[in-house]
Structure 1
Amino acid sequence: MASGLVFAYREIKKETSEKSTAKPRSAAEREAALKKWEATPDGIQYKKWETSPEGKKVLAGAAKLRKSIRDSIPMEAVVTSLALPPGSRLGFEVMVRINGDDYILSFGLQQSTEFQPLHSLKVNDKLLIRSRFVSYAPKYSYPIVAGDYVERDSKILYKRAPRKGGC
């Protein structure tokens, strides 16, 4: 009886794994999906923002950091504000200036105690940061830099823990 259950479980597992593996979409399928999304109200609004002066400024600021992020080069930053503009909901974050441009330095949801050392930050603190990602959204007037590593006065204030079970 036990061997029958194991055999049945293997068959169920085999069926679900075959169903759950989807083939990657072709370039033509991705392009068609993008065109379809661009025709939606959200897509139209995003395209308008992307071509607006504010959108161009945000995209240019994000592009300036891509090489440093790709090569994991530490970036010098100065804290300009401990609060974000009203309506921001990114978790724990501060405003920083990197190479003359303003950015939102975001760490994630504020539920964790690992952010406790970051609460000691003050305006005009000089930081050394590393990030793995820069993003943007029409809702925000600044590019959003994901904070993975923050150092002040040669002391590590924050270092993102590696993901468990991932690559």
Structure 2
Amino acid sequence: MKKVIYALMLPLVVVSGIVFANREIKNENTKKPSPKPLSVAERKAERKKWEATPDGIKYKKWEASPEGKKVLIGSAKIRKHITAFTNMEAVVTSLSLPPGSRLGFGVMARINGDDYIVIFEPEKSQLEQLHSLKVNDKIIIRSHTVSHAPKYSYPIVSCEYVERDSKVIFKRVPRKGGC
């Protein structure tokens, strides 16, 4: 009887030892320190490396071109409003985005005499109000982000708030679960 009990206990001890050892190995992997943010010098070095790649060279050429300069100047014109998250008056100039764009739902608008792509991330319930926009509608927008890409001839404003005739027609809903 003792031999049977020992014969049953031995595999149990061996298996539990393997499981416990495997758990410790997994815990060691998860305790790796998260990568530290790069210092300014490291960021500059990484940027120099990227600028030497074909994509970096293409971007630098675009940046120096008249079209690229126009887009960067347009971004700089509204930077003060973007950082302060203040109202910007805009006039809708087109209800469609440039051909071939993959930015989602948006419109073209003129802000301070320059054209911009204004994009939205609407919920289904907000689409009807945004579809009610017409060309030459005057709207008030707010945004935290203006970006640019060589593919587009206009700065891209990610809109977070739109008001028309003193009525809010769009307010970005924060994503659930963090960022």
Q: What's the TM-score once normalised by structure 2's chain length?
A: 0.81
2:127 paired residue number: 115
1:39 paired residue number: 52
Contact 2:126-2:169 at 8 Å conserved across structures: no
The aligned amino acid for 1:101 is: D
1:132 pairs with 144, 147, 154, which one? 144
2:41 paired residue number: 28
CA deviations 1:95-118 (Å, max 9, x no partner) are 00001000000013x774432210
Structure 1 vs Structure 2: percent identity of aligned residues?
65
Q: What is the SS of the residue equivalent to 1:145?
A: strand
Superposed structure 1 runs of 4+ greater than 2 Å apart: 8-15, 110-116, 162-167
Counterparts of residues 30-109 of structure 1 (less than 5 Å): 30-108=43-121
Contact 2:106-2:118 at 8 Å conserved across structures: yes
The answer as to 2:175 corresponding to 1:163 is: yes
Q: What is the SS of the residue equivalent to 1:148?
A: strand
Give, in angstroms, the shift of residue 19 of structure 1: 2.1
Query: Residues 104, 12 of structure 1: CA spacing in aligned structure 2 closer, same or farther, 3 A cutoff?
Result: same
Bigger mean CA deviation after superposition, 74-83 or 24-33 = 24-33
Distance 1:9 1:153 in 2: 62
Question: What RMSD in Å do the two structures reach over aligned CA positions?
Answer: 2.4
Query: Residues 13, 149 of structure 1: CA spacing in aligned structure 2 closer, same or farther, 3 A cutoff?
Result: farther
Query: Residues 79, 10 of structure 1: CA spacing in aligned structure 2 closer, same or farther, 3 A cutoff?
Result: farther
Q: What's the TM-score once normalised by structure 1's chain length?
A: 0.87
Query: Residues 20, 104 of structure 1: CA spacing in aligned structure 2 closer, same or farther, 3 A cutoff?
Result: farther
Query: Residues 111, 20 of structure 1: CA spacing in aligned structure 2 closer, same or farther, 3 A cutoff?
Result: farther
The runs of 5 or more residues in structure 2 that have no matched partner are 1-18
Number of matched pairs = 162
The aligned amino acid for 1:69 is: I
Q: What is the SS of the residue equivalent to 2:120?
A: strand
Larger Rg: 2
